[in-house]
Amino acid sequence: MSNRLTSFTNDGFTFDVIDEGPLDGTPVVLLHGFPQTAAEWSRVAPHLHERGYRTIAPTQRGYSPGARPSGRVAYRMSALVGDAAKLIAELGAGPVHLVGHDWGSAVAWSTAAAHPELVRTLTSVSAPHPMAFIRSMVTSSQALRSFYIALFQIPWLPEFAISRAFRAVESSNRPAVRRRALEFSQMDSDQFDRIKRDVVDTGALPFALNWYRAMLIAGPGGAAQKVSTPTTHVWSTRDSALVRKGADLTAEYVTGPYRLEVLDATHWIPEERPVELAGIIAARANGSDGG
């Protein structure tokens, strides 16, 4: 493809895309997590461009203004994978290097399982293989870390509470309030403000929460399959949402070359460790990581 991809359509919805780097570079598709947009990758992408890669980062279902179907059924994993597969097909460049963080990682795992012909390599960030995550829920403290998933099932209240919290921080004239909010969320100021602007203020939050609400109406499906794609999983030691057990179990669900990378960071690896993460992605892409 010789032109920039600024959007694509699937299921009648239009998705925004950030397409950067050398047009003739090998494509790397970057899938964001919750509660973020394609802008999550703004610190990682330049380091991939320096290595000659072209990055394509979609703002996914529920987040793109033109792709906000109502009802949780529209956010089941098969629909999210369908979006990713359509984007890769739209590029017309053959299989891509696929990277996902958080929920984007879950979509990446499922895409690699359902469409191995579309994925050259997989780099999953934070979220382990779905079955490894499920097993970690009953063999570690992961269930306690995931209590918020149950809270997110409540209608209306989570989006109201989260939106109100972001707006309260913005309107407060007390630096201590903002400092406590950043400490609690483990975000930096730029990231916090971007989520407020791009997700809360645009009305995307209720739709983004549907990703969690759809979990109870659709099982892991194809995501239960082992992945043959060469894969690197990245976990961080200070992740408040995901424990080490899921990362350790993930190796059992990859039949191709596999490597686990552990970084000293919070859950927000793309913002905190962009240089190291770009290096890990590139190493998996060019096969030089030894895994």
Place of tokens 């309030």: 177
Question: What pLDDT, on the 0 to 100 scale, is given for residue 223?
Answer: 59
**Residue 153, helix vs strand vs coil:** coil
Q: How far apart are the first and last CA of the chain?
A: 31
Question: What pLDDT, on the 0 to 100 scale, is given for residue 219?
Answer: 56
- Extract the residue ranges of the chain whose pLDDT is less than 50: 1
Nearest alpha carbon to residue 28 among 80, 115, 87: 87
CA dist 180 and 174 (Å) reads 10
CA dist 104 and 34 (Å) reads 8
- What one-character DSSP code corresponds to residue 150? H
Question: What pLDDT, on the 0 to 100 scale, is given for residue 1?
Answer: 47
Q: Identify the structural domains of the chain with CATH numbers, from first to last.
A: 7-141+219-286 (3.40.50.1820)
Q: Where are the alpha helices (DSSP H) in the chain?
A: 45-50, 77-91, 103-114, 130-139, 142-145, 147-151, 157-171, 175-185, 189-195, 205-213, 244-249, 269-272, 274-286
Question: What pLDDT, on the 0 to 100 scale, is given for residue 217?
Answer: 81
List active site positions: 102, 212, 267
**Residue 231, helix vs strand vs coil:** strand
Question: What pLDDT, on the 0 to 100 scale, is given for residue 93?
Answer: 86
Nearest alpha carbon to residue 100 among 283, 281, 290: 281
**Residue 291, helix vs strand vs coil:** coil
Provide the whole-model pTM.
Answer: 0.97
Q: Across the chain, how many H-helices and E-strands are there?
A: 13, 8
